[in-house]
Amino acid sequence: MHDSLGTSTHAHDPRALHARAPSPHPEDVDPLGRAHPTRSADEHAVIRALAFCLVAVVIAIPIIAAVSAAPFLNVFVGLSPVIVTLALGIAATGQHYRYTILWYLLLVVHIIGLAWLWLVNLALSVPLNVGASSVLSCIIGAIAVSIAMVVGSRAPVDVKHVHHHTTVEHEFHTEKLVEYVHSMEDKVKGLNFAIGRVYRRSNGSSDAIRERLRISREWYNEFYAIKPEDLDEQKVKARILVHKIHDRLKLLAAKERDVFTEKELAALKNLARNKNGEDAIIDVLKTNDRDPVEHYYVGAVEVCETILKGLGR
């Protein structure tokens, strides 16, 4: 295993020297048997909002044409830039791009759209008011993007309810301890990478902030020294290790202002976040990183709680 700096963490771990069969990516399968979504809850909300706006625009085209007595084709062509913007926005959101890309798409598509409308206008039997059509399309697009951004910001992480569709619940099995640890390791590593990318120095963060948030690899590496057959004798040590990780995960659910100093909050920049630190750290991570941070977070919490339950808390 490697941390975010690429340094080996199993170099002195004899258990890590044993060959392991290649495991699937943590986004595809959870060793605990639970079905996980590939998109976070807020991404689903944004996609639904964009799709709703796209359908609304399509339905509005014949209505606008009838009210304005303009040819249907002219109205469709005039609003085609916003249709393209929303379609690309849905695709980009599904690929975990930051939501700010929606504004860039709106701008780029409508700049290209000016040339597109001018060229198509040459072939229309009834001339199209290119300027007015572009402005109307851009306004509708801006409204749609704003709605999607607001909807996305109001879909916070809910550890208890995100997996309401869970299909399989596994009880704790001592002999599967290594599997649980590997599952935790995958998700913790994903969280640590996201913390390093979002709270990097160029965004005004510091080494102190990152270390305050990151989950030390030493905590879960120590599990590899505990053999399943020795677990009964080392339950106390195992519980302490899991509680350390679980407590750090709970810290990520706290608001920035409760974890960072005023000076640290003021120094942060280039991030989509509440400037006063009212956002939860996990929300800042998932909003500003392309990885499925919520998936990592919820999965890590579930693994911790499964082990703690099996160890009797």
Residue 268 has a pLDDT of: 93
Higher pLDDT, 75 or 155: 75
Residue 120 has a pLDDT of: 85
Both tokens of 267, joined, read 């120094």
- Whether the per-residue pLDDT at 14 is higher than 70: the answer is no
Same domain, 127 and 195: no
Q: Give 171's pLDDT tier (boundaries 50, 70, 90).
A: low
Residue 150 has a pLDDT of: 84
Task: Please check whether residue 190 lies inside any domain of the structure.
Answer: yes
How many structural domains is the chain composed of?
2
Q: For 265-313, what is each residue's pLDDT tens digit?
A: 999 999 988 888 989 999 999 889 888 888 889 888 888 888 888 777 5
Task: Please check whether residue 34 lies inside any domain of the structure.
Answer: no
Same domain, 222 and 200: yes
Same domain, 171 and 141: no
Same domain, 84 and 188: no
Residue 183 has a pLDDT of: 80
Q: For 72-131, what is each residue's pLDDT tens digit?
A: 888 898 889 999 999 999 988 877 677 788 999 999 999 998 888 888 888 777 888 888
- Whether the per-residue pLDDT at 245 is higher than 70: the answer is yes
pLDDT, mean of residues 193-211: 92
Residue 155 has a pLDDT of: 53
- Whether the per-residue pLDDT at 161 is higher than 50: the answer is no
Same domain, 168 and 148: no
Task: Please check whether residue 188 lies inside any domain of the structure.
Answer: yes
Same domain, 198 and 81: no
Same domain, 145 and 172: no
Same domain, 184 and 144: no
- CA 62 – CA 65 distance, rounded (Å): 5
The residue segments making up the domain with residue 57 are 42-153
What proportion of the chain, given as a percentage, has pLDDT over 70?
Answer: 76
Residue after which a domain boundary falls, among 88, 119, 153: 153
Residue after which a domain boundary falls, among 119, 153, 187: 153
Both tokens of 222, joined, read 């120590």
Residue 175 has a pLDDT of: 67
Same domain, 138 and 196: no
Same domain, 183 and 289: yes
Closest alpha carbon to 53 in 172, 171, 157, 139: 139
Task: Please check whether residue 18 lies inside any domain of the structure.
Answer: no
Residue 40 has a pLDDT of: 52
